Amino acid sequence: MNKDKFLIFQDKSLLEALAQIEKNNHGVIFTINESDQVTGLLTDGDIRRYLLQEKSSLEDSVSLCTNIEFLWESPSSSRELLMKKLDHRIRVLPILDKNKKLIDIVSRDYLPLQEERAVYARAKSPVRISFGGGGSDLTHYFSDGVGAVINTTISIFSHATLRLRNDHKIIIKSLDLNNTLKANNLEDAIVPKENFGLIQSLLRTIKPDYGFELDVHSDFPMGSGLGGSAVVSASILGCFNQFRQDRWDPHELAELAYQAERLYFGIEGGWQDQYATVFGGFNFMEFRMDENIVHPLRIQSDILLELEESLILCDTGISHNSGKIHQDQRLQMEQKNVKKLVESNVSLCFEMRNQLLRGDLVSFGKSLDIAWQNKRKLSIGISNNQLDKIYDDAISHGALGGKLLGAGGGGFFIFFVPPLRKFELIKHLKESSLNIRPFRFEQEGLRSWTVRETRD
């Protein structure tokens, strides 16, 4: 809307005011002083009423009949408020800045859309607990067979925030690494730098053609055995996905995370971590060379609640290198007895799925013990005397079974304990200076969204 047609200096005549009102065709005009501040409002009706008085003239100053107690709004006023005022017998409403200068004019036939503001993307992705099928999600195992795992996501997350820049500079802050990466462009950003290998591999994978600022932090320590690198990757990918027109679907997100971590970054490992964190919830996963299938498990709510109360997540305080353990597993898999152990875990995984669906949690807890006894034989790096003692002591204090999460070598134990012995086991673990981590099952996987940047 042309603002000049609505303005007139406060020392002009009524005749000039009428001419200006005729130009804007809205029956109203605003007076301004020498500093361009709006001082009042004048309608054609105000002028007519004034002219009906004795000794009035069209040559009189507009200031003689200007309404200085007029309604106006600020640029921060919501569209909702503006619409309500226009709906309430107001024809034209000026928008003034803090200095009372005219910014815009709205009317019933002119109410512009709110300008697009800058947005930033946020994402959170949950870690997983793997109950069975360990080792069978490795490509070199299911290349000539079928792998199967059963897992669920829990309420421990990795978080990422992404803000686009107007230049090509890249700034990445990682609270987990306690470090910052700064680069002038993507080419500089992917130059190898200590500790940033995973994030740089993600940048190589998705190749963003814009500058950005990325903040990353997680609720868990590195080397925890909770699939942390895949979870971090998923949260970052979730942010970038928000700025795509053709968004990646869950399968594509999991594949991109795998590509960055396994192919580009070169960390040995299986496929389940990426699928678990992206899809979320309780899942039974099958792995074949032609495709990976994620089967959501419809477990009754009371069974889930009882299972949740029967599990204890225990941090050993020992970090581990999953890549080296998986590398050793690859070599060990050439031995027939090791491959048979993995095959046994796959068969057990099918049994555990059925135990969960039917609510046979005692048998499920005992199956965890069988899964652990099989898993610890897959590589010498999976367990050691210290970890064996933690596990054996937990069994002697009430646990029916459990297993070390992830590749092994450290990180978190998950224990299944019947209700009447849970207190005993918790007391023992605390007396052993082991940290118990509370959690809840998380039914959602990767979640990402955009938020408008707040105006200062």
Query: Measuring CA to CA, which residue among 62, 36, 40 is closest to residue 51?
Result: 62
For the record, the structure tokens of 35 come out as: 């500093």
Is residue 317 within 8 Å of 435, Cβ to Cβ?
A: yes
Higher pLDDT, 333 or 420: 420
What CATH number has the domain bearing residue 60? 3.10.580.10
Instruction: Summarize pLDDT for 297-335 with one digit per residue, the tens.
Output: 999 999 999 999 999 999 998 875 555 555 555 555 567
* Together in a domain, 173 and 44: no
User: Span 37-53, mean pLDDT?
Assistant: 92
What's the confidence (pLDDT) of residue 108?
86
What's the confidence (pLDDT) of residue 2?
82
User: Span 232-259, mean pLDDT?
Assistant: 97
* Together in a domain, 292 and 165: yes
Residue type for position 31: T
- The answer to whether position 38 is within a domain reads yes
What's the confidence (pLDDT) of residue 332?
56
Q: Of 51, 74, 107, which residue constitutes the final position of a domain?
A: 107
Number of alpha carbons in the 13 Å side-chain half-sphere of residue 447: 12
- Determine whether 208 is exposed, middle or buried from the number of CB atoms within 10 Å of its CB (0-12, 13-18, 19+): middle
* Together in a domain, 93 and 193: no
Give the pTM: 0.82
Instruction: Summarize pLDDT for 97-153 with one digit per residue, the tens.
Output: 999 999 999 988 888 887 777 899 999 999 999 999 988 998 988 988 899 999 999
- The answer to whether position 217 is within a domain reads yes
* Together in a domain, 146 and 241: yes
User: Span 178-191, mean pLDDT?
Assistant: 96
- The answer to whether position 135 is within a domain reads yes
- The answer to whether position 448 is within a domain reads no
* Together in a domain, 50 and 134: no
Q: Of 73, 107, 141, which residue constitutes the final position of a domain?
A: 107
Residue 272 belongs to domain spanning = 120-436
* Together in a domain, 65 and 205: no
Mean pLDDT of the chain: 91
Residue 176 has pLDDT above 80, yes or no: yes
- Determine whether 63 is exposed, middle or buried from the number of CB atoms within 10 Å of its CB (0-12, 13-18, 19+): middle
Tell me the residue ranges of DSSP E strands in 240-364. Answer: 283-287, 292-296, 311-315
- The answer to whether position 312 is within a domain reads yes
Q: Binning pLDDT at 50, 70 and 90, where does residue 241 land?
A: very high
What's the confidence (pLDDT) of residue 417?
98
328 is catalytic: no
What CATH number has the domain bearing residue 183? 3.30.230.120
* Together in a domain, 149 and 11: no
* Together in a domain, 26 and 156: no
* Together in a domain, 42 and 143: no
Other C-beta atoms closer than 10 Å to the C-beta of 302 total 9
Catalytic residue chosen out of the listed positions 215, 273, 315, 369: 273
* Together in a domain, 137 and 216: yes
- The answer to whether position 114 is within a domain reads no
Is residue 73 within 8 Å of 85, Cβ to Cβ?
A: yes
* Together in a domain, 90 and 182: no
Give the total number of structural domains in the chain: 2
User: Span 53-81, mean pLDDT?
Assistant: 90
- The answer to whether position 442 is within a domain reads no
* Together in a domain, 73 and 156: no
Instruction: Summarize pLDDT for 154-172 with one digit per residue, the tens.
Output: 999 999 999 999 999 999 9
What's the confidence (pLDDT) of residue 455?
59
113-122, 291-300, 369-378, 443-452: least confidently modelled range: 113-122
Residues of the chain with pLDDT > 90, as a percent, come to: 71
Give the phi and the psi of residue 179 in degrees, each rounded to 5. -150, 160
- The answer to whether position 453 is within a domain reads no
Q: Binning pLDDT at 50, 70 and 90, where does residue 42 land?
A: very high
